[in-house]
A and B are shown apart, each in its own frame.
Chain A
Amino acid sequence: MSFLLPCPFCGRRPVDEFTCFGEVTKRPASSPTLRELTDYVYFRDNAAGVQREWWQHRAGCGEWFLAERDTRTNEVLEVKLPEPQRPGPGSDLVGSDPR
């Protein structure tokens, strides 16, 4: 991987400056079954195609943002800052747990 990624603030920078936190997933709303929980914690779509991902410009401005990337070509179609989503019942909370 050596492509350039556009940071919403700093513009196109080498990907080495960024940290990828993996694809955007949906956090279960409340009291998930063990199966739903395991799905969320461990399973990823790993799409061969366009995928929404969390990135941080860690060695740069530090901003967290969402990127739409084609995993086949590393072409980044769109980057944007996340919409603030206050937690609460039924909120479509997105988050991915890389650990």
Chain B
Amino acid sequence: MRLEPQQRERIDRSRPVSFTFAGWKVTGFEGDTLGSAAFAADKRVFSRSFKYHRPRGLLCCSGHCPNCLMTVDGVPNVRVCTEPIREGAVVRGQNVRWSLDLDFMSVTDKIGAPFTPVGFYYRTFIRPRRLWPLYEKFLRSAAGLGKLDERAGHSRRYDVEHRRARVLVVGGGQAGRAAALAAATTGPGVVLVDEDARHGGLRLKGVEVLAPARALGIWEGGLVPVDAGTLLYRFRVERIIVATGATEQPLVFPGNDLVGVMLPDGARRLVRDYSVKPGNRAVVLASDDAGLEIADDLREAGIAVPRVLDLRDIRPRELAAQGRKGRVRRLVVDDESIDCDLLVASAGSQPAYSLLAQAGARIEFDPELGVFVPTELPPGVEAVGSVTGEGLGKVAPEPAYRGGGKCFVCVCEDVTTKDMKRAIAEGFDSIELAKRYTTTTMGPCQGKLCHLSSIRLYAQENRMYESAIGTTTARPPWAPVELGLLAGRELTPARLTSIHWRHVEAGATIQWAGPWKRPYAYGDKPDDEVRAVHESLGVIDVSTLGKLVVEGPDAVALLERLYPNRFGDMKPGRIRYGVLTSDGGRIMDDGTIARLADDLYYVTTTSTGADAVTAWFEWWNAVWGYEAEIVNVTGAIAALNLAGPRSRDALQRLTEADVSAEEFKYLDAQEIEVAGIPTLALRIGFVGELGYELHFPSPAGEFLWDRLVAEGARPFGLEPQRVLRLEKGHVIVGQDTDSESNLYSSGMSWLPKLDKDDFVGKFALEHFARREEKERLVGFTMEDDYLPAEGAQVVIEGRPAGRVTSARRSEAAGAVIGLAWVPADRAESGTRVEIRIDRLLRGARVMHGAFFDAAGERMRG
């Protein structure tokens, strides 16, 4: 029922808005919240409680308590008391069987109490263990909050924005606004956040206002995440001013959760903001001056207030609210019974210090005020207004629980005074333990409405002072936050080569390869692509290779110390294969090193290793202080591998340089022009055929690709490349090797030059050279045509003794071939091992060297 227009009402009576509330059509006004409009339409039950399924109605009307958590348009756990009204919204109850007004599960309230004391599920459902899945299913459906709509899926999109501010003010009340304005006079960069949507229209000179938005915590370095609905701001701030105010605390007495029991501020908001009549006959129970003032506000709105009780003056022997069907009907004080349908009760206000506590402030009990206040604020964090305790009146010293019936300390988790007392009796004698056992303060309000009362009860039961008990640890987030917001939107930047769209146009299957998107194959017959490379001509985009230029008078010294092999004796224009090892002697990455001039080297790395290798080079260069510059040119340079028996002829047709076998030998590097593009051509053979790796400026990528394809080169993807390299027994670092592999166990003992002065990994390799390796990386050929999975077990005498790292069916080798780690004593060529494929053991023969063209005539010719 609406009141006469109030002076400061926020509703626009000329603009009605309709929505569905638990199946009923409800019409409110623009400016309403879903909760206030439903209340005005005489809806009183908004939820059912967590454990006992007791009916619950509006309590705080300020987004703190769990009583108005409902599912709105499929989004669970929305606080409808603060959620703005919107046309056509569908609001449903949650944790309910049947309806909000008639919930079958409320039987747990009537008969369940003796069987459902605190911690009952820890004890009752332990045995028999095998029944736990059944118990779990029941408990999960009986208790809890809203359910996610599984069909809704990814209906919301979340983003993260990184921001900086000089001053961030949390809370837009009087003190917060004043602090923000004062900060704005000293310069720009002042931001104020407030959770009330209507503060969005707030105009403060020189202050940016974000509302509705909530600061979730204060981390070191002035990091403050701010929840603004579907946008998470990660604020870095120099000064944080916390003005979160104080939160009215529910009074603990029997029947304190009945529908119609409200906090003063909740009743005040209904009257003042939404012109809704919160009740017809109200009784006020106050513990401080603020609690008393509500009586005048209610009378002014035309609500009868037959009694106002100030608990600072009277100490009733009995104090209990009684009701019918979960709604308050009367208040019993000692022998007197006062009829009412609204009971406004508060236990005073507690500074909302959680953010400050998280930031590292000390929280102390103030015996003068009877509440906890923050002290010793960390540097860069300030507090203003009532969060400091300023302006709060002294509250009634003792809680009021006397009388029969359930008396709730924590409305979120349905924890009663009896539960708390029982936990204390059972020996949970520290507040931190009692919190975990009873789950008080662990519900949706995060202790905002139950922290103080649980500590007061605890103090009384243990005959201790509140100050000796202290507070439980405050942890972020200080308000409930949607998981989607924390997870954010998936933002994985895909790296694409400059030729990428040509691959897409050619119908390639694209797949992730580290940070890159690369063609798997250009059709469903990778074998055809393999055959093209063997028989005529293929081309693959290898722009993803890491490419570094190392230049300077000390370039050679740097490389000599980074790689186990030698580079000083290389002539300009020559190429050498290199494997990077760590000081632990482990294989890190591999690639080719081309010497372009005396003090200029061109280094390639694996596709996924480019960034790590660059960092590795730069780091050692910083350690040693060499005069060498390292430039990562991976993105600037495109690369194509032109391979196959016809590659020389094809290249010759596109260049004026002489690329004949005599003038351009295997492992030569030449700077030539190809189709007019300045190109560094490297004659290397990863795929085992005559081939040229052409490195040239990225912008010419598509141009040169098109020219090579026009010369008859068939594009081939990653999968055919894997087959081709496996036929040669070429190792892929990271696939065939892991963090335990070294050069000796991987069959590359020819590579390290231990007579060199010093290099990264030398000490370890010296030790490895002297010892027997336990495992070796070897090639194998299957006896039959079975194809083992990568990772399949190598089995020796019935025991797993190794693993397959690569395996493919090869036409050229006429068999299934692969690489595997086997025990060193089985590494002899020709040894028979068994490999597990689909639970069966299949025979294989160890083989060393290449499976195809073992002499390497095709690529060297």
| A11 at interface, CB cutoff 8 A | no
Which residues of A (62-99) have their CB < 8 Å from a CB of B?
Answer: 62, 64-65, 74, 81-87, 93-95, 97, 99
A87 touches B624 (CB 8 A): yes
Complex Cα–Cα for A99 and B561 (A): 17
| A50 at interface, CB cutoff 8 A | no
| A14 at interface, CB cutoff 8 A | yes
| B588 at interface, CB cutoff 8 A | yes
CB distance from B472 to the nearest CB of A (A): 23
CB distance from B630 to the nearest CB of A (A): 10
Which residues of A (34-85) have their CB < 8 Å from a CB of B?
Answer: 34, 37, 40-42, 54, 56, 58, 62, 64-65, 74, 81-85
Question: Looking across the interface, which residue of chain A has its beta carbon closest to that of B625?
Answer: A84
Neighbour of B622 across the interface among A1, A32, A42, A82, CB < 8 A: A82
A4 touches B221 (CB 8 A): yes
Complex Cα–Cα for A86 and B620 (A): 11
Interface 0/1 of B199-243, CB less than 8 Å to A = 000000000000000000001111100000000000010000000
A86 touches B584 (CB 8 A): no
CB distance from B610 to the nearest CB of A (A): 13
**Which residues of the partner chain A approach B584 to less than 8 Å between Cβ atoms?**
41-42, 97, 99
Neighbour of B221 across the interface among A2, A19, A31, A37, CB < 8 A: A2
* Given A4-B221, A14-B236: A31 and B763 interface contact (C-beta under 8 Å): yes
Neighbour of A93 across the interface among B615, B618, B623, B764, CB < 8 A: B623
| A3 at interface, CB cutoff 8 A | yes
Complex Cα–Cα for A5 and B222 (A): 12
| B767 at interface, CB cutoff 8 A | yes
Complex Cα–Cα for A12 and B153 (A): 40
Complex Cα–Cα for A85 and B586 (A): 25
Neighbour of A99 across the interface among B588, B766, B767, CB < 8 A: B588
**Which residues of the partner chain A approach B586 to less than 8 Å between Cβ atoms?**
99
* Given A37-B764, A54-B619, A84-B624: A14 and B221 interface contact (C-beta under 8 Å): yes
Complex Cα–Cα for A30 and B222 (A): 46
**Which residues of the partner chain A approach B625 to less than 8 Å between Cβ atoms?**
82-86
Question: Looking across the interface, which residue of chain A has its beta carbon closest to that of B218?
Answer: A2
Interface 0/1 of B593-628, CB less than 8 Å to A = 000000000000000000000010011101111000
The size of the chain A interface, using a CB distance under 8 A, is 37
Question: Looking across the interface, which residue of chain B has its beta carbon closest to that of A94?
Answer: B623
B583 touches A41 (CB 8 A): yes
Complex Cα–Cα for A65 and B619 (A): 9
| B739 at interface, CB cutoff 8 A | yes
A64 touches B221 (CB 8 A): no
Question: Looking across the interface, which residue of chain B has its beta carbon closest to that of A63?
Answer: B622
| B582 at interface, CB cutoff 8 A | yes
CB distance from A26 to the nearest CB of B (A): 12
* Given A14-B236, A31-B763, A87-B758: A99 and B739 interface contact (C-beta under 8 Å): yes
CB distance from B159 to the nearest CB of A (A): 17
CB distance from B378 to the nearest CB of A (A): 11
**Which residues of the partner chain B approach A93 to less than 8 Å between Cβ atoms?**
623-624
Complex Cα–Cα for A93 and B223 (A): 37
Question: Looking across the interface, which residue of chain B has its beta carbon closest to that of A1?
Answer: B220
**Which residues of the partner chain A approach B236 to less than 8 Å between Cβ atoms?**
4, 14
CB distance from A17 to the nearest CB of B (A): 11
CB distance from A75 to the nearest CB of B (A): 10
A2 touches B758 (CB 8 A): no
Complex Cα–Cα for A2 and B766 (A): 42
A2 touches B582 (CB 8 A): no
**Which residues of the partner chain A approach B583 to less than 8 Å between Cβ atoms?**
27, 40-41, 95, 97
Complex Cα–Cα for A97 and B624 (A): 14
**Which residues of the partner chain B approach A56 to less than 8 Å between Cβ atoms?**
615, 618-619
Shortest beta-carbon contacts, A-B, top 7 = A84-B625, A64-B622, A3-B221, A2-B223, A97-B583, A41-B584, A2-B219
Instruction: Spell out A's residues near B (CB within 8 Å).
Output: 1-4, 14-15, 19, 21, 27-28, 30-32, 34, 37, 40-42, 54, 56, 58, 62, 64-65, 74, 81-87, 93-95, 97, 99
Beyond A64-B618, A95-B620, 10 additional pairs, beta carbon < 8 A: A2-B223, A14-B221, A15-B221, A19-B615, A27-B583, A54-B619, A56-B618, A74-B221, A81-B622, A99-B584
